[in-house]
Chains A and B, each alone.
Chain A
Amino acid sequence: MAFETHRLENSKGSGGNFDDTILPKGAVLQSRYEIIKVLGVGGMGAVYLAQDLRFSGVTRLCAIKEMISTTPDPHVRRLAVQSFMREANLLVQLNHPGIPQIYDFFTESVRSYLVMEYVKGDDLENILENTAGMLKEEVVLDWAVQVCDVLIYLHDQTPPIVFRDLKPSNIMLRDQNKIALIDFGIAKAFESGQKGTMIGTEGYSPPEQYKGVADPRGDIYALGATLHHLLTKRDPRLEPPFTFHEEPPRLLNPALSQEANDVIIKALEYDPEKRYQSARAFKDALVIVLKKEKPHSATPSGTQLLSSSAATTVLPDQNTTPTLSQPQYPPQYPPYPSQQYPAPYPPPQYPPHPYPGYPPMTGSSGELDEELNDSILPIWKFKCEDEIRSSPQADKTKLYIGVYDNNVYALDLKSGQFLWKYPTDGGIATKPTVYKNSLIFGSEDRVVYAISDAGRLIWTCPTEGRIRSSATVEFDHAFFGSDDHKLYAVNAQTGRVIWRFESTGPIRSTPALGDELVYVGSEDGYVYAVDLSSGASRWKFRANRGITSSPVVYGELVIVGSSDWNVYGLDAKSGYSVWRTRTGQAVISSPVVADGTVYIGSADKHLYAIEAKSGKVQWKFNAEAPIVSTPAVTEEAVYFGTAAKDRGELISLSRRDRKLRWKFKTGGPVPSSPLVVDGIVYIGSTDHHVYALPA
């Protein structure tokens, strides 16, 4: 046979062949059936509405299904007749309110006719099309229960009859909300293990049907697929096959109950062994769902209360003297090497504005509005002298955080108890980095410090600009940027500068390390890739505005946000832009990648979840306030801070459901990023507090 490629045509429209052979109104068959009108045109012929003349004077309607074999190929014609005969023979033995009764069967020359009960009503596909909005769960599940009753009847026959072509257009809704299945054209007596030809409407058919397996559990899958379509309006014939699980019903129609969602998903299991094993079991499950009074509406934010067993010590304000043995004096600055040091050293602005486009910070008094936080309570909180703009860091026992009162504080991780603080001459806007037993951080006094975990100074590295970038430490080197436009690589043990790379703007982003390159963004709008060992420039990528966000290396890509509103995915080796995703405002937050998804916040008030390799937005959450904080990600959740004009929140979202888990309000904007350690989230706020919350 010659094969040719063609596109599958909708058989409803192919009535072209039969146009001249459709029986006209008034034609009489067998001197008994008068044709009234055409009900529909199928693949093999028309279906007519007819009056049985034997019952003169009374309306006795019936449906007549016609089969014309016009195919020249006698083999194909024979197959068609067999299929028709099979339907007739099957139906005539059956007796169920949900199955049309057979009254008669006859042949006139090349045409065969099946006379059956006229099922007056509309099919579910039509009903769905003509319904605005979604159908109601109770209504559809009730139909499903009725269909199950028919399936139970069919599957109980000896041998079991598998319908094989269950879909919305084969289910009729009669008056009184009663269901009937029509078009038994391919129903097949199931002979265990026997394989037939693959037929059935794509979209609703289970995988095993393509192996020729006709098993009653296939009808369960098809009913599940039908329900999925009816309750979400997502037509499986228009989507890639076998993608139901990527779009569970509740995701597309949040009004559905979780129970209904789960029943449908189980019926749609690709492995027949995992589905309901019988129509009876399926029906029982549906009935249980229906018995619940009403469908549950989606619960609002999942509030999380502190369990009574958690330590809820809230520490008093800390004005105590530090418990250190060594004296607290400012470190000695080694003499500045270059003569370009600007002579008058301006005092740090108070309050400073580190982020371009950032909402102006009002120095809030720090009073916490307790009544707004009835959903979640902190385990402890610690009050400092000034705003906390930077993110906390932790090692095994201590929490470190830089504060605008020029100090880095060390607190006990579990209790929040103050341990020591280390003073500098400028505000700390960076997150400290832990390296072996030391802590490395930069200050607005232009110096990068390394101190021991007991608060003792190890080394300093002066630069010519304020430090607002955090250090990245690897291979015993610390990399950080400065407002003096340079990226530094220093020996992490001694603080000695190995090399410096100069850009044309302040570097406030934290460098990211690849195999051979360091990547960093600058306020001059460029992302630079610089050789790790030599500091030589390899490539640079220009965005349209400054880059405060810290890049992240993910596979072959470097991902970073820019104040030009975009998140970029750049090829790590060459710097070519592979993808670009636009948000509604500046992106100052840094990306975090987990399981192939990038989480990043934008000043457009949304948290975005973006597919890392393609830049496609998977979902976004409206936090109702600009986000400059970098998210923290655990297996279950994403955490980030928001920064509205005079207040901010720490928000936790569920990664899987994309829904809000809880919100924690603080007294001021939260520009810093949370840190999650052992089930506790730590965050500082401009309301002067550090909080520890249950994750």
Chain B
Amino acid sequence: MNFLQRLFSQPKLHAVGNDHVEHGEPAKTEDNSLVANPSLNNMTPFNQLGPGLHVGKLSDVGREREQNEDSLFAFEAVVQHDFRQERFGLFIVADGMGGHQKGEVASALAVRISASTILKDLYLPYLINDQNANNRPLNEALIAAVQSANVAIQKLAAGAGTTLTITVVMGSTAYIAHVGDTRVYLFKEDKLKRITQDHSLAEKLQESGQFTEEEAAQVQNVLYKAVGQTDLLDNDIDLHVQQLSPGALLILCSDGLWGLVSEQTFQEILTSAPTPQQACEQLIRVANENGGRDNISVIIISIGIEH
């Protein structure tokens, strides 16, 4: 069975230098109440938002598609008692594909099923301190969530597929599972760092050493792994663990965003936007200004200061 999935789309703009917004000023918002104090020029404004997680999320159909086949899920909770504060976050982005309008069915299913698996098997036991369940390795719980989404799509939306990227945040650590090319980035000390590897032909061409990032961006967007198409081996699901320091940002986004916004603009917006939500809005605006060729989804999680 052929694993290659074709996403018919224009080649990506990994614009270096031709980005319209690159030299412009990032948009200032009306509500300037949380804009950085001049005396605190070098601090990411998010630092001042206080403890816990602060989340921005947004999904947009873009300029060319008729449907939005991306789905997203964002859940965040804090338990505070005694001197302890326990943070929990669950963030999921899925980018659907498949003919006959099944793309959005696949991505919605992936998001709902995997979210419910994690909340049920991981979060609720954690909340009530269920020792037996708490021994279950996080990796296993993440894999089980992706697998249950895979089974559900094959059953209820046969022929469709989706990418799936799940991030669980517990305390100061993010646990990530993904299949496809929806990415997770870490933004720390003004630098953007990509955590996930795309399961795409373009990524593999780059890895072979024969293609630069620009050349790879010109290749048709073809995935060699997706959720919902065939049985997945546990090995097919990539896992990552990332420590989060206060002031750091975690970003989940579909290719409609990372394919259309240059790394430099990305960094500028993340450094200067007053809140995660406004950063999301600005990023999507830039992606649309650059053509909006695909659906655009982004979740930004800011780590506040732990007391």
Distance to closest chain B CB from A661 (angstroms): 29
A97 at the interface (CB under 8 A from B): no
Within the assembled complex, what's the spacing in Å between the Cα atoms of A243 and B215?
Answer: 20
Neighbouring A residues of B9 by C-beta, 8 Å = 3
B219 touches A578 (CB 8 A): no
B278 at the interface (CB under 8 A from A): no
- With A5-B7, A242-B205 already in contact, the answer to whether A613 and B2 are too (CB < 8 A) is no
The one of A240, A573, A616 in contact with B173, judged by C-beta atoms closer than 8 angstroms, is A573
Distance to closest chain A CB from B138 (angstroms): 5
A577 touches B135 (CB 8 A): yes
The one of B6, B103, B139, B210 in contact with A614, judged by C-beta atoms closer than 8 angstroms, is B139
Neighbouring B residues of A542 by C-beta, 8 Å = 131, 135
B201 at the interface (CB under 8 A from A): yes
Which of A144-152, A203-211, A374-382 forms part of the interface with chain B? A203-211
A240 touches B204 (CB 8 A): yes
Neighbouring A residues of B4 by C-beta, 8 Å = 8, 202, 237
B208 at the interface (CB under 8 A from A): yes
Which of B44-52, B71-79, B235-243 forms part of the interface with chain A? B235-243
A574 touches B173 (CB 8 A): yes
Within the assembled complex, what's the spacing in Å between the Cα atoms of A292 and B159?
Answer: 50
Distance to closest chain A CB from B184 (angstroms): 15
The one of B8, B170, B225 in contact with A576, judged by C-beta atoms closer than 8 angstroms, is B170
B140 at the interface (CB under 8 A from A): yes
Within the assembled complex, what's the spacing in Å between the Cα atoms of A211 and B4?
Answer: 18
Neighbouring B residues of A241 by C-beta, 8 Å = 201, 204-205, 224
Within the assembled complex, what's the spacing in Å between the Cα atoms of A5 and B101?
Answer: 9
Neighbouring A residues of B199 by C-beta, 8 Å = 240
B131 touches A4 (CB 8 A): no
- With A577-B137, A578-B138, A578-B241 already in contact, the answer to whether A8 and B208 are too (CB < 8 A) is no
Distance to closest chain B CB from A327 (angstroms): 54
Q: Which of B2, B98, B225 has the most CB of A within 10 A?
A: B2
A556 at the interface (CB under 8 A from B): yes
Within the assembled complex, what's the spacing in Å between the Cα atoms of A243 and B199?
Answer: 12
Distance to closest chain A CB from B106 (angstroms): 10
- Which bracket fits the contact residues of B? 35 or more
The one of A3, A207, A237, A557 in contact with B241, judged by C-beta atoms closer than 8 angstroms, is A557
Neighbouring B residues of A578 by C-beta, 8 Å = 137-139, 175, 241
Q: Which residue of A lies closest to B1 (CB)?
A: A238
- With A3-B9, A577-B135 already in contact, the answer to whether A207 and B208 are too (CB < 8 A) is yes
For B153-197 the 0/1 string (1 means CB < 8 A from A) is: 000000101000000001111010000000000000000000000
Distance to closest chain B CB from A538 (angstroms): 12
B219 touches A210 (CB 8 A): yes
Neighbouring B residues of A624 by C-beta, 8 Å = none
Q: Which residue of A lies closest to B4 (CB)?
A: A8
Q: Which of B7, B170, B208 has the most CB of A within 10 A?
A: B208
The one of A3, A8, A556, A576 in contact with B138, judged by C-beta atoms closer than 8 angstroms, is A576
Distance to closest chain B CB from A69 (angstroms): 22
Neighbouring B residues of A613 by C-beta, 8 Å = 239-241
Neighbouring A residues of B225 by C-beta, 8 Å = 240
Neighbouring A residues of B241 by C-beta, 8 Å = 556-557, 571, 578, 613
Within the assembled complex, what's the spacing in Å between the Cα atoms of A237 and B225?
Answer: 12
B224 touches A7 (CB 8 A): no
For B203-217 the 0/1 string (1 means CB < 8 A from A) is: 011011111000100
Distance to closest chain A CB from B212 (angstroms): 10
For A572-594 the 0/1 string (1 means CB < 8 A from B) is: 01101111100000000000000
- With A5-B99, A207-B211 already in contact, the answer to whether A574 and B8 are too (CB < 8 A) is no
- With A211-B215, A556-B243, A614-B239 already in contact, the answer to whether A579 and B6 are too (CB < 8 A) is no
The one of A242, A543, A580 in contact with B140, judged by C-beta atoms closer than 8 angstroms, is A580
For A596-632 the 0/1 string (1 means CB < 8 A from B) is: 0000000000000000011110000000000000000
Within the assembled complex, what's the spacing in Å between the Cα atoms of A271 and B210?
Answer: 6
Distance to closest chain B CB from A211 (angstroms): 6
Neighbouring B residues of A243 by C-beta, 8 Å = 204
Within the assembled complex, what's the spacing in Å between the Cα atoms of A243 and B243?
Answer: 30
Within the assembled complex, what's the spacing in Å between the Cα atoms of A270 and B173?
Answer: 37
Q: Which of A198, A243, A576 has the most CB of B within 10 A?
A: A576
Within the assembled complex, what's the spacing in Å between the Cα atoms of A8 and B55?
Answer: 37
- With A5-B98, A237-B2, A580-B140 already in contact, the answer to whether A242 and B135 are too (CB < 8 A) is no
B171 touches A574 (CB 8 A): yes
A158 at the interface (CB under 8 A from B): no
Q: Which residue of B lies closest to A580 (CB)?
A: B137
A396 at the interface (CB under 8 A from B): no
- With A271-B210, A573-B171 already in contact, the answer to whether A238 and B103 are too (CB < 8 A) is no
A6 at the interface (CB under 8 A from B): yes
Distance to closest chain B CB from A203 (angstroms): 9
Distance to closest chain B CB from A580 (angstroms): 4
A556 touches B173 (CB 8 A): yes
A4 touches B175 (CB 8 A): no
Within the assembled complex, what's the spacing in Å between the Cα atoms of A271 and B208?
Answer: 8
A176 at the interface (CB under 8 A from B): no
B136 at the interface (CB under 8 A from A): yes
A10 at the interface (CB under 8 A from B): yes
B209 touches A6 (CB 8 A): no
Within the assembled complex, what's the spacing in Å between the Cα atoms of A106 and B58?
Answer: 59
A270 touches B210 (CB 8 A): yes
B229 at the interface (CB under 8 A from A): yes
B5 at the interface (CB under 8 A from A): yes
B97 at the interface (CB under 8 A from A): yes
For B241-281 the 0/1 string (1 means CB < 8 A from A) is: 10100000000000000000000000000000000000000
Within the assembled complex, what's the spacing in Å between the Cα atoms of A210 and B161?
Answer: 24
Within the assembled complex, what's the spacing in Å between the Cα atoms of A7 and B170?
Answer: 37
- With A207-B211, A242-B207, A573-B171 already in contact, the answer to whether A7 and B137 are too (CB < 8 A) is no
- With A241-B224, A613-B241 already in contact, the answer to whether A10 and B2 are too (CB < 8 A) is yes
Distance to closest chain A CB from B195 (angstroms): 12
Within the assembled complex, what's the spacing in Å between the Cα atoms of A9 and B5?
Answer: 10
Within the assembled complex, what's the spacing in Å between the Cα atoms of A240 and B159?
Answer: 20
Neighbouring A residues of B211 by C-beta, 8 Å = 207, 210-211
Neighbouring A residues of B235 by C-beta, 8 Å = 616
Neighbouring A residues of B205 by C-beta, 8 Å = 207, 210, 241-242
Within the assembled complex, what's the spacing in Å between the Cα atoms of A546 and B23?
Answer: 61
Neighbouring B residues of A210 by C-beta, 8 Å = 201, 205, 211, 219
Q: Which of B97, B173, B241 has the most CB of A within 10 A?
A: B241
- 11 further interface pairs, Cβ-Cβ under 8 Å (given A210-B205, A556-B173, A574-B173): A5-B5, A5-B6, A5-B7, A7-B99, A7-B161, A8-B5, A202-B201, A240-B199, A270-B210, A543-B135, A579-B139
Contacts A/B (CB < 8 Å), 12 sampled: A7-B6, A207-B208, A210-B211, A210-B219, A242-B205, A271-B209, A271-B210, A543-B135, A556-B173, A557-B241, A577-B137, A580-B140
Question: Residues of A with Cβ closer than 8 Å to B?
Answer: 3-10, 198, 202, 207-208, 210-211, 237-238, 240-243, 270-271, 542-543, 556-557, 568-569, 571, 573-574, 576-580, 613-616
Please list the 6 inter-chain residue pairs (A to B) with the smallest Cβ-Cβ separation, ordered nearest first: A3-B8, A5-B97, A270-B208, A207-B210, A577-B137, A6-B99
